[in-house]
Amino acid sequence: DAGVIQSPRHEVTEMGQEVTLRCKPISGHDYLFWYRQTMMRGLELLIYFNNNVPIDDSGMPEDRFSAKMPNASFSTLKIQPSEPRDSAVYFCASNIRGAQGEQFFGPGTRLTVL
């Protein structure tokens, strides 16, 4: 298996632009997580899905952030409009409940908003 796949790996954009981050979980995994990592706050959960349904989005910072999972093999995290304080590394992870729940992380997307 290729592992969790994220795209793009790097994104540089200007303030006010829309940004879309993409994630393909490991096949067969029924949980998908979006995390944000910054120097100041470390790793934070933004939202997670179970069987494509959002379960907990309490970590989504503002209405500018939205996430979807239209099917079991694809999820997006969208920021509109983007702001410089959104600059961070965004990780996607997936796991299977019942297999001790070990999480498998994607390589991350480094977002820079100018």
Partner 1 sequence: KNEVEQSPQNLTAQEGEFITINCSYSVGISALHWLQQHPGGGIVSLFMLSSGKKKHGRLIATINIQEKHSSLHITASHPRDSAVYICAVRSNYGQNFVFGPGTRLSVLP
Report the distance separating Cα 90 and Cα 87, nearest Å: 9
Q: Which of residues 72 and 81 has its CB atom nearest to partner 1 in the complex?
A: 72
Contact between 5 and partner 1 per CB under 8 A: no
Please tell me the count of residues contacting partner 1 according to CB under 8 A: 24
12 part of the interface to partner 1, by CB under 8 A: no
Q: Give the CA-trace dihedral at 28, 101, 47, 105, to 10 degrees.
A: -70
Asked whether the beta carbons of 109 and 44 are under 8 A apart, the reply is: no
Looking at 23, 33, 36, 82, which residue binds partner 1 (CB under 8 A)? 33
SS3 content of the chain, % helix, strand, coil (to 5): 5, 55, 45
34 binds partner 1 (CB under 8 A): no
Residues that bind partner 1 (CB under 8 A): 31, 33, 42-45, 48, 50, 55-56, 89, 91, 93, 95, 97, 100-105, 107-108, 110
